Amino acid sequence: MLRLTKQTDYAIVLMCRLAASADVGGVQNARDLAGAVQLPLPTVSKILKLLARAELLFSQRGVKGGYSLARPATEIAIRDIIEALEGPIAITECLDDAGGCGIECSCPVKGNWGRINDAVRDALGGIPLAEMTQDFSFPEPSPAPQTTHGKSTPAPLRAEAQ
């Protein structure tokens, strides 16, 4: 089965969150992002660092620091995000730079696997991050419970927009 790791899945979610908020100011810190997508802060911090190292995000230090997209969401492909976390896309060992298949030299289907791999890479390269954020919006994080004189009271409920 071909499957992305949870970390890569979370990276795409985080990138979508940043893309969706790019027109609102763009810079978000790791803590706010973790709350917005409901993931643990250490996981979010690790993923953001990997995405910044791959030059998909800008990292700004300081009080008003945080992360923002390094390029417009229309110019970042889903393949870029996957490769930033997983490395080059290779659906079989013979397509990986390291190799490791015992019959690689005499394999009669290696060329066909190359065609399939190219099709997968091209498909993922043809889906810009901007398309991933078109059909949905992220819910706002729930406000923390308010305290009154040492007692916790539930946060007020927000009415859903119809």
DSSP 52-64: HHTTSEEEE-STT
Torsion of CA 22, 72, 28, 59, to 10 degrees: -160
3-state helix, strand, coil in the chain (%, to 5): 50, 10, 40
Distances (CA, A) of 118 to 21, 78, 89, 122, 123: 32, 15, 9, 6, 8
pLDDT in tens, 137-147: 655 654 444 44
pLDDT in tens, 32-90: 999 989 999 999 999 999 999 999 999 988 777 899 999 999 999 999 999 999 999 88
Q: Cα(31)–Cα(125) distance, rounded to whole angstroms? A: 30
pTM of the model: 0.77
Q: Cα(133)–Cα(55) distance, rounded to whole angstroms? A: 20
Which domains are assigned to the chain? 6-87+129-137 (1.10.10.10)
